[in-house]
Amino acid sequence: MTMTSQKIYDLLPAIYRLRDSEHGEPLKALLSVIAGQVELLEENLDQLYDDQFIETCADWVVPYIGDLIGYRPLHGVVSSVSSPRAEVANTIAFRRRKGTASMLEQLARDVTGWDARVVEFFQLLATTQFMNHVRRENQALVSLKQWEPLENIQSPFDSLAHLADVRRIGNSQGKYNIPNIGVFLWRIQAYPLTDSPAVKLNNDEHDLRYFFHPLAIDTPLIGKPERERDISHIAERINVPMQISRRMLREYLNVYYGNGKSFSITCDGKLIDDSQIVACNLADTGTGAWAHQPPEVDDGAKVFVDPVLGRIALPQSLKPGNSMTVSFHYGFSTDLGGGAYERADTFNLTPTPETPVIHIPGEQATILEAFQEASNRYANGHKSVVIEIRDNGRYAEAINCLLRENQRIELRAANGFRPTLVLQQDWAITGNKGAELILNGLLVCGETIYTKETLLNLSLFHCTLVPGLQLEPNGKPLTPARASMVIETSTTVVIEHCIIGTFLIKSGSVRIENSIVHATDPTRIAYAGSMDETDAGAVLQTSNTTFIGKVHSTQIMSANNCIFWARLNSTDTWPAPVWCDRQQSGCIRFSYLPPNAITPPRYQCQPDIQIANEIERTEQSLGRNLSDIEMNSISEQIQNWLTPKFTSLQYGNPGFAQLNSNCPEQIRIGAEDESEMGVFHDLYQPQRESNLRTRFEEYLKVGMEAGIFYAS
C-alpha cells in the first residue's frame, strides 16, 4: 500500500491536525517530504523484487543475471540477439532441452536470423541393426518405388542411409558419422511479388506461353516458408524458402498453389483452379518451342506450370482476353534493387499541401502523364511533387521528362511494391538549374537513362537498372555493351541499395553505397566516362559495393569494403582493369582489387596484404631477402587463388553476386569489421556464423560435433 502524505496526515490525532491548521500546516508540509521519501523507498523495493527476473529487471541488471548463468554475449547483428535480454531469458529453457534437434534448430534460427534445419547424421548411418530395436525408417538399400527419398538425395531433407564418413564435420567436410550434427542454413530469402502481369514469350503467335518474371526471363519459384514462433518439430520443406521442384509441385500442389500461398495464377480476374494446374517440364527444345504444350481434353483445359523455370503454358481455350496476372515468390539474399519489403524510411519527400502526390494508377494512367501533371503543378507553385506507383504493374512507355528550375520530383513505388518500367526509347531527363530527380523502388529495363541540360541531383534508392537493358529468356543480356545510365551533365549522383548496369558519367560526383554495378562481364566497362575507353568517369566515392567490370575514374575519393572484380582481355587498351587518373589523393580501404590496379593509396586491401604477409613469412623462414623473381612468383601464385568466387554472376539468379562458401576467407571476412567485402557486407554473415558456433559450444551434448552447411 502506498503511503501518501494525506494518508499519514489522517493518522494523526485530530488535536494535532487542528493545531497544525492554526499555524499554517507546517506539520503537513513535513509529512509531505517524509511521504516522498517513503514513496521512493517503496519504488526501490518493488524494483529490487523485479530485478530478480530477467523479464522485468532494469537494463543494467541484465549482464549480472547473464553472468550468473554463464551467458556469453554475441555479435548483435540480428534483431533477435541485438539485445541480450531475450537470450538470457531463453537460456534456462534451452538448457533444459540441451542437445535436442528442435532446440538446436530454434537456436540456429534465433542467432542467425536465417531459416534452418538440423540433421542428426548419426541416425542416417547404414548399420547392422539390433533385432530387438529395429528402425524401419533406416534402410541401407534404396527403394526405387519411393519417389520422395530419391527427390531429397544430397539435400537437407535426405532420409536415406549412408556409409560412414570419417572426415571432420567441423570444417563442413564430413557428414555421416556417430558424433555429427549438421545445421543447414538458407541465406536466400523468399520475396513476394503480387498481382504482377505475366509476360508473353516474344514472337509467340498464339499468345499461350508466359513467364512469371516481369522481365520475361526464367526464374525459379521459391516456396513461401511457413514459419513457427516456437519450433516444436524439425523443419520440413514448407518451413524454409526452398526452390519448388516439378515433382514436389505435382505431389503437393495444394500446399504450394492458391491465394496467399507460394504462387497463384489469375486469368481475366479469375483465379485458375488448382484442378487445372499441371506441373510440367517447359524447357526449350532448341527449335524455338517448349518441351510440352497442354492439349485440349474433354474434362477441362489444363494449365502447365514449370516451377523450375517459372514458365506457364496455356491451352487455347484459356487464352486470356484482357489480362493474366501472377503472384509468386522469388529468391534473393537481401533487401536490394526494389521489392515488397519495407522502404518507407528511404522516401525523400513527405506529402504535404506544398508537396502533392500524383498516384498511378488513379489520378494518372501512365508515368509520362504524371510527369506532365507535375510540370503543371510547378506552374501552380508546387516545386516538390511525389509521383507514386501503387501496384506491381508493367509500364511500357516512352518517357521524356522536363524538370523546371529548382523543382524536385520523386518517382517512387509505394511501400511494398515493385513496378516494372519497360522503356520504349532512351529516357531523356532534362533539368533546369537546381532541378533534382529521385527514383525509388523501380525495376527499369529496355533502354538507357540519360540526362542533359543542368540537372543538379539524381538519386536512386532500391532501384534496378537491368544490366544489359534487355534479357533473353535464359537471362543472358541482349545488349551487353550498352550502358544502363549515361550522365551527360555535371550532376551529383547518389546510388544506394541498387543494382545497375554500366554507368557512364564524365563530370560531377558519384556516391555508390550497398549496391551492385554489373557490366555483364568482368572484361566490360562498369564505370567510366564513355564507352570509347579513353574518358575517365567522375569523382567516385563508394562503400559496400560490388563492381563487376572495369572501372576508370578521374579520382576515387574513398572506397571501403568493396569488391572490384575486373580483368583485361587480349585486345584491351587500358593499362589496368581498375584505373584512377589522380593517385595522389583519396584512399581505398579493406577492398579487393585486381592485379596491377592503378589506384590511390591502399590500406588493408587484398591480395596486397596476403602477398606481403607471405613474402615476410618466406623471408623469415629462409633467413634472407627474396629476389624480385621470387617475390613476383609468390605474387602470381596468390593472385591466382585469392579471387572472389560468386554463387552466380547472372542477374535474375537467386544467388546473384553472393559470395560462395568456398570464397577465400580473406574476402569473406576482409572488411574493416571482419564482415565480408562487397554489396552484402551489412548482412554480417561471418558474424552470424560465429554466433552460431559460439552457441553450439554451449548447447551440444558432450562428444557431439556440429557442422554448418549453406543450403542456399
Q: Which three cell numbers stand for residue 708?
A: 554448418
- In the numeric block, which cell numbers belong to residue 516? 551492385
* Residue 251 sits in the same domain as residue 313: yes
- pLDDT for residue 177: 84
Q: Is the dihedral of CA 578, 581, 583, 589 positive or negative?
A: negative
Query: Cα–Cα distance between 386 and 351 in angstroms, integer?
Result: 7
For residues 555 and 410, membership in a common domain is answered with yes
Of 538, 570, 602, the last residue of a domain is 570
Burial class (CB within 10 angstroms; exposed 0-12, middle 13-18, buried 19+) of 704: middle
- Is 678 in the same domain as 699? no
CA-to-CA separations, 358 to 400, 497, 674, in angstroms, rounded: 17, 25, 45
Mean pLDDT by 10 residues, the chain (712 residues): 68 76 76 76 78 78 73 64 68 70 82 87 80 76 80 84 82 82 90 91 81 92 83 80 91 90 89 89 84 69 89 81 85 90 89 87 86 83 87 89 86 91 90 87 91 82 92 89 88 92 91 94 91 85 94 93 92 90 91 92 92 89 87 90 92 92 90 92 89 81 83 87
32 Cβ contact partners less than 8 Å away, ≥ 6 residues apart: 5
Residue 662 lies in a domain: yes
- Predicted pLDDT at 696: 81
Domain membership of residue 308 (yes or no) is yes
Residue 325, in any domain of the structure: yes
Same domain? For 164 and 197 the reply is no
* 358 in the same domain as 307: no
Q: Count other C-beta atoms under 10 Å from residue 617's C-beta.
A: 11
Residue of 397, 500, 483, 385 whose CA lies nearest to 435: 385
> Domain check: are 260 and 157 in the same one?
no
Domain that holds residue 38: 5-50
- What residues are paired with 385 via a beta bridge? 409
What the block records as the C-alpha cell of 377 is: 503543378
Same domain for 477 and 415: yes
162 and 195 within one domain: no
Same domain, yes or no, for 469 and 533? yes
Using alpha carbons, select from 578, 573, 708, 594 the residue that is nearest to residue 642.
Answer: 594
Total structural domains within the chain: 5
Is residue 289 in some structural domain?
yes
Dihedral of CA atoms 243, 244, 248, 254 in degrees, nearest 10, equals: 130
* 440/525 same-domain check: yes
Give me 573's grid cell: 587498351
State the pTM of this model: 0.87
CB 596, CB 653: distance < 8 Å = no
The answer to whether residue 596 is domain-embedded is no
In a domain, residue 603? The reply is no
Answer whether 317's CB lies under 8 Å from 295's CB. no
Rg (CA), the chain: 31
Looking at the structure, tell me whether residues 124 and 153 fall in a common domain. Answer: yes
Residue 80 lies in a domain: no
Where do the DSSP E strands lie in 432-473?
436-440, 443-445, 449-453, 457-461, 464-465
Q: Is residue 576 part of a domain?
A: no
Helix (H, G, I), strand (E, B) or coil at 17: helix
Selection from 470, 475, 480 nearest residue 654 by Cα? 475
Is 144 in the same domain as 263? Answer: no
